[in-house]
Structure formats: structure tokens, C-alpha cells
Amino acid sequence: MMARIQIPIDVLTSRLNLQDRLAGLRNTPLSSRFANMRPVSEFLDFKRLSKPANFSEVQSRVNYNLGTFSSNYALVFVLLSIYALITNPLLLFDIVLLVGGMWLLGRLDGQDLIIGTFHATSSQLYTGLLVTCGLLFLIASPFTTVLWLIGASGVVIVGHAALMDKPIDEAFSGEAV
């Protein structure tokens, strides 16, 4: 019998303090989420791009930049999500069909749909909509799109956070004089 391999996820994520960062995301309303957006000139300051010397510097930069540019990174994630939906038109159509169908069925207020001799109950309409959208959903490869989105945003966001050096005044704030 083979022993199960236990991967201590909390040990891997504790260094980046992801749990506290995600808790902060849940507690802030959407309008204030983008209120502390940094200007593009600061976010894309190519003069501050440099290769980190070692892994501890990478960690330090990622911790600093995830806090500093969190709203910018959220916008990058939203833009990549929009791009992913535009490049997968079947998934976009399926989402629009599901949302539009649910909205139209909600407008019936539980009444049956009668068009001429056609008669359908609301449960038949919901079932038809969910079966149709479910089949389209499987064909539209949503898991591939989600995995691409996770990979692309991870590379872009963590890559930017690791390569963007701290400002000069921040770099020396932790050192004794």
C-alpha cells in the first residue's frame, strides 16, 4: 500500500501572506477596491525593472509590490478575463445565454409560457435552459480558459511584482543608519 503524500500548502503560502491579502479583498467593496490605483507611469516605470539578486529579494519585492499595486493587479486580472472571454466566443455566448435566459424566465414570475398551442411550465423552461447551457458549457472548454487565465495572470502579476524594484526611499527604510 502506498503512503499518501501530504503537501503543506500553508507552509508554502505563509511566506507570501496570501490568506491575509485575500481576506482584505473580501472585506472591501468594489468601488473602493480601485480607489487606490497607482498611476500607469508608476506601475510601468521601466527604470525600476531589474533582476533580483536572490530568492529573498524576490520575496521582499513580491510582498511589497502586491500590497502597493494590488488594485493595478486586480485591473490586469479583469482585463485578462475580458480577453479570455473575447477569444472564446462560445463560452461568452453561453454565459450571455444563461444570464439572459435566467433574466427572461425571472420576468415570467413563475407563470407558464404559452405561445399559440405551445405550453411550457417554468420548471420545463429552467430545465431546458440549464441543459442547453450545460452542454454548451462543456463544449466551450471553460476549464482550459480558467487555467489559461490563472497561468497568464500569475505570470504577468508575479513577474511584474518580482522584477519591479522598490523605490529608493522604501529600499532603505528597513536598514539602520
Per-residue pLDDT for 22 more than 70? no
pLDDT at 47: 86
**Cα–Cα separations (whole angstroms), residue 152 to 81, 95, 103, 113, 145:** 10, 21, 32, 44, 10
> 124: which 3 cell numbers?
420545463
Mean pLDDT over each residue of the chain, to the nearest integer: 83
Contacts with 57 (C-beta within 8 Å, 6 or more apart), sequence order:
none
Per-residue pLDDT for 109 more than 80? yes
Of residues 90 and 168, more confidence is placed in 90
* β-strand partners of 164: 49
Per-range mean pLDDT, top range of 27-31, 83-87, 171-175: 83-87
Whose cell is 472585506? That residue is 27
pLDDT at 172: 62
pLDDT at 39: 79
pLDDT at 93: 95
pLDDT class of 4 with cuts at 50, 70, 90: low
pLDDT at 139: 93
> 167: which 3 cell numbers?
523605490
Average pLDDT over residues 124-140: 93
pLDDT at 149: 95
